[in-house]
Amino acid sequence: MSAFTDHVRELQSRWTQALTAARIDAVVVAAGQPKPYFLDDQSPPYRANPHFAQWMGGAECPQSLLLVTDDGRARLFFHQVEDYWHQPPVQPELEGAIDIEVHGSSESLMNAVTKAVERRNRTAFIGETEPTGSNLPFDDLNPPLLLNALHYGRAKKTAYEVACMREATAIAVAGHRAAEIAFRSGGSEYDIHQAYLTASRQTESELPYSNIVALNAHAGVLHYQHYDREPPAVRSSFLIDAGARYKGYAADITRTYAHESTDPFAALLHDVDQAQQALIASIRPGMSYVALHEQAHRAIGRLLVDHALVSGSAEAAFEEGITDAFLPHGLGHLIGLQTHDVAGHMTSAEGGTRAPPARYPALRLTRTIETGHVFTIEPGLYFIPMLLRELRKAPAGKRVNWPNVESLLGYGGIRIEDNVLVTDDGIENFTRDAFSSE
């Protein structure tokens, strides 16, 4: 049996369980379709409903519907109209694991689905409800009980999903290698971005998220969104946060480079990289991700002291909240069909949640780490003027070595981001493995 058919088997078992628990006997999952801009006939790039894409080997199949019944059987009602304006969608290759019915119109497709569920007691629908809304012929639209169970389960990847994520990583790493070369040869942010796209053979709309390509102080803007056409007069640092998708599964990778290997920023970068790897080496199933995030803050406290940016003890830098100004985002997040995959705050399939601690509102992952989870580990250390201004006013600001900190403002910051799979005795690091292979 192939990895894909095994994957479908696993989905069948998860969905049977989720449907039974929610007392629903059949659910229709809509792929979705492009949605035009307000008062326009143009649409942003369309992405399939992830609950649909998970069964489809990433195929987007706009306007198709998938029927899943409580015995785990799935049937695709594939929408394929004749069209001379567009290339009609290609029927997905599902290896016989899912039955396919082809329909040449939305009307015939909807009639067939309605007929298929008419003898069912309780039916549900997962997808965008607009424009039909409450006219949809199902009992429950996006029922939370069902969604909770499916979302919770998505954190654990099947072997097929893991293989897709390794592949997405390899695509992204090809882009990252080209981006470093473009940086070293004097390219602008725009040039580097284009080099990334060419080497990874992706269009912008295929990317899982918009590339962050930041030279110098721009590296201190966490989600920097521009691509300067001109290279800066002086080049100090380069941060690139760029990914790829394979069959719908994302890679999310950040690397930071120093222009001069001998300057203090390069030494700091080296140590953030070491700290990131030490954090990853400590991961075991059963640990709390919140504890790992705190460990990252303590490591940043250590680095601030070691690099003469803060005086006193590393512990005090952490306890007094100084590290919050230098690392204002979470250590990472679940990743899969979505870059920031769902259910990072869930504690149970029934819908229990654990909010991030008040000190770390941006932390996207608070779950207990389990074998099969895939998440990012992305500590950072930034020089962000607006956060430093606040710190300067606080009592703890007295312990900051401001001349040293200010000398690094022009470098923006550092982030190192890998994607890891939790195994029974540690992790598999997709990102480091791909960077170290030829």
Which residues are at the interface with ligand GLY (CB under 6 A)?
209, 241, 252, 333, 339, 378, 417
CB of 77 to ligand GLY, least distance (A): 34
CB of 327 to ligand GLY, least distance (A): 13
- List, in sequence order, every residue forming a beta bridge with 414; answer none if it has no partner: 381
Q: Which two tokens stand for residue 245?
A: 């998708």
Comparison of 97 and 377: residue with beta carbon closer to Mn ion: 377
CB of 344 to Mn ion, least distance (A): 11
Q: Which two tokens stand for residue 363?
A: 């932390």
**From the list ligand GLY, Mn ion, none, partner contacted by residue 60 (C-beta under 5 to 8 A by kind):** none
419 contacts Mn ion (rule: CB under 5 A): no
Comparison of 26 and 155: residue with beta carbon closer to ligand GLY: 155
Comparison of 70 and 241: residue with beta carbon closer to ligand GLY: 241
Residue among 371, 435, 437 at smallest CA distance from 180: 435
Residues 122/140, Cβ–Cβ less than 8 Å: yes
Number of residues engaging Mn ion in binding (CB under 5 A): 5
CB of 15 to ligand GLY, least distance (A): 28
CB of 362 to ligand GLY, least distance (A): 10
Residue among 180, 181, 189, 185 at smallest CA distance from 227: 189
Comparison of 244 and 299: residue with beta carbon closer to Mn ion: 244
**From the list ligand GLY, Mn ion, none, partner contacted by residue 64 (C-beta under 5 to 8 A by kind):** none
Q: Is 319 exposed, middle or buried (0-12, 13-18, 19+ CB in 10 A)?
A: middle
Euclidean distance between CA atoms 3 and 8, whole angstroms: 9
376 contacts Mn ion (rule: CB under 5 A): yes
Comparison of 190 and 209: residue with beta carbon closer to ligand GLY: 209
CB of 241 to Mn ion, least distance (A): 4
Q: Is the dihedral of CA 224, 229, 233, 236 positive or negative?
A: positive
The residue number with the shortest CB distance to ligand GLY is 241
**From the list ligand GLY, Mn ion, none, partner contacted by residue 209 (C-beta under 5 to 8 A by kind):** ligand GLY
Comparison of 155 and 317: residue with beta carbon closer to Mn ion: 155
**From the list Mn ion, ligand GLY, none, partner contacted by residue 276 (C-beta under 5 to 8 A by kind):** none
Comparison of 148 and 254: residue with beta carbon closer to Mn ion: 254
252 contacts Mn ion (rule: CB under 5 A): yes
CB of 130 to ligand GLY, least distance (A): 28
Residue type, 237: S
Euclidean distance between CA atoms 158 and 261, whole angstroms: 41
Euclidean distance between CA atoms 433 and 415, whole angstroms: 18
CB of 331 to ligand GLY, least distance (A): 11
Residue 76 CB contacts under 8 Å (≥ 6 apart), including other chains: 55, 56, 61, 64, 65, 66, 92, 94, 98, 99, 100, 101
Three-point CA angle 23, 25, 26, nearest 5°:
130
Residues 162/335, Cβ–Cβ less than 8 Å: no
Residue 357 CB contacts under 8 Å (≥ 6 apart), including other chains: 290, 363
54 contacts Mn ion (rule: CB under 5 A): no
Comparison of 189 and 252: residue with beta carbon closer to Mn ion: 252
188 contacts Mn ion (rule: CB under 5 A): no
Comparison of 25 and 417: residue with beta carbon closer to ligand GLY: 417
CB of 326 to ligand GLY, least distance (A): 17
Answer for which of 241, 271, 320, 341 binds Mn ion (CB under 5 A) is 241
CB of 435 to ligand GLY, least distance (A): 17
DSSP string, 123-191: EEEES--TTTGGGSSSSEES-HHHHHHHHHHHTBPPHHHHHHHHHHHHHHHHHHHHHHHHHHTT--HHH
**From the list ligand GLY, Mn ion, none, partner contacted by residue 16 (C-beta under 5 to 8 A by kind):** none
Q: What three-state secondary structure class fits 325?
A: helix
Q: Which two tokens stand for residue 106?
A: 């939305």
Comparison of 339 and 401: residue with beta carbon closer to ligand GLY: 339
Rounded to 10°, the helix 159-184/189-200 angle is 140
Residue-wise burial string across 91-110, b where 16 or more C-beta atoms lie within 10 A, e elsewhere: ebebeebbeebebeeeeebb
341 contacts Mn ion (rule: CB under 5 A): no
Q: Which residues bind Mn ion (CB under 5 A)?
A: 241, 252, 254, 376, 417
